[in-house]
Amino acid sequence: MGALPDLSGHPLCKYFLSGYLSKGEDEDNFPRDEFPSDFQRYENIFASAIQTLGLTKEALKGRPEFNFDSGDTNNLESGIAILRAVEALRLGGFHSISLVVPKGNAPAADITCEKHGQKICCEVKAITKQSSGRSELFLTDQLYEKILENISKSRRQLEATAAESQCGTTILVSVVNWFAQSIYLDQADYQGIVNRLERDRDQQSLKGIDGVLFITKMGQQFWFLNERAKCIDI
């Protein structure tokens, strides 16, 4: 293992990521040829999330999904995906953005927020770099199948939090860390994926889900809302 990167200029990265980086190199998430700009992006994500959520850095790391010291890569990507979703909601004009505190082992979404008098809950799923699509499929088909793997669980989590927190709108947030899909797919491609999910009548994939937000590795956002959710005015 090489020497740890110098994080002295990135205090939040040092606080949240030193333990993770001490476990070994992670060229997928922290390629050495992108130091230090890569850490500045993480620094910005941590700073924005802390301010938006109104939490201290200690309180944020006190939640297991944001404690990366185990070195688990999926935990890192999933946790950062939630923070990226928080940032996307802030930029979209949402307010009162909060992390959901699960009750025991009961299903729960990740975030609640408000906009135009509507209370909204969001479940965030990361398409991680550790996973991959079937090589024989087109890029859109790979992503569609990956979303299908977790959509039933996502729906249960959203339904539970919507009932518990009296949310009128539910949003599935898919943070796409796959490079090819982030580079080559556009609005029409993501619309096609949502259309296919809507047509999955047997699986009822989007039943109880009012909107889908895709956030790509490159930072692009693609929103898709049903008639009930359009009042939040993206």
Q: Is pLDDT at 232 greater than 90 in this prediction? A: no
Give the confidence band of 1 by pLDDT, cuts at 50, 70, 90.
very low
Query: So where are the chain's domains?
Result: 1-71, 95-232
Q: Which two tokens stand for residue 97?
A: 């953005």
CA distance 79 to 114: 21
* Mean pLDDT value across the chain: 93
How long a stretch of residues is the chain?
234
pLDDT, position 31: 87
Give the mean pLDDT of 205-213.
Answer: 93
Q: Could you tell me how far CA 137 lies from the centroid of its own chain? A: 24
Q: Is pLDDT at 2 greater than 60 in this prediction? A: no
pLDDT digits 0-9 by tens, 4-36:
788 999 999 999 999 999 998 898 999 888 777
Q: Which two tokens stand for residue 164?
A: 């518990």
Q: Is pLDDT at 201 greater than 70 in this prediction? A: no
Q: Of 143-152, 188-197, 199-208, where does mean pLDDT reach its minimum?
A: 199-208
Q: Is pLDDT at 217 greater than 60 in this prediction? A: yes
Q: Is pLDDT at 205 greater than 90 in this prediction? A: no
pLDDT, position 202: 62
Q: How, if at all, do strands 221-225 and 169-176 pair?
A: unpaired
Q: What is the pTM of this model?
A: 0.95
Q: Is pLDDT at 54 greater than 80 in this prediction? A: yes
CA distance 51 to 70: 25
Do 216 and 181 contact (CB within 8 A), yes or no?
Answer: yes
The residue with tokens 């700073």 is: 47
Q: Of 76-85, 169-178, 197-206, where does mean pLDDT reach its minimum?
A: 197-206
The residue with tokens 């040092």 is: 14
Q: Pick from 219, 135, 216, 205: which is nearest to 181 by CA?
A: 216
Q: Is the dihedral of CA 6, 11, 14, 17 positive or negative?
A: negative
Give the mean pLDDT of 32-52.
Answer: 91
CA distance 41 to 151: 29
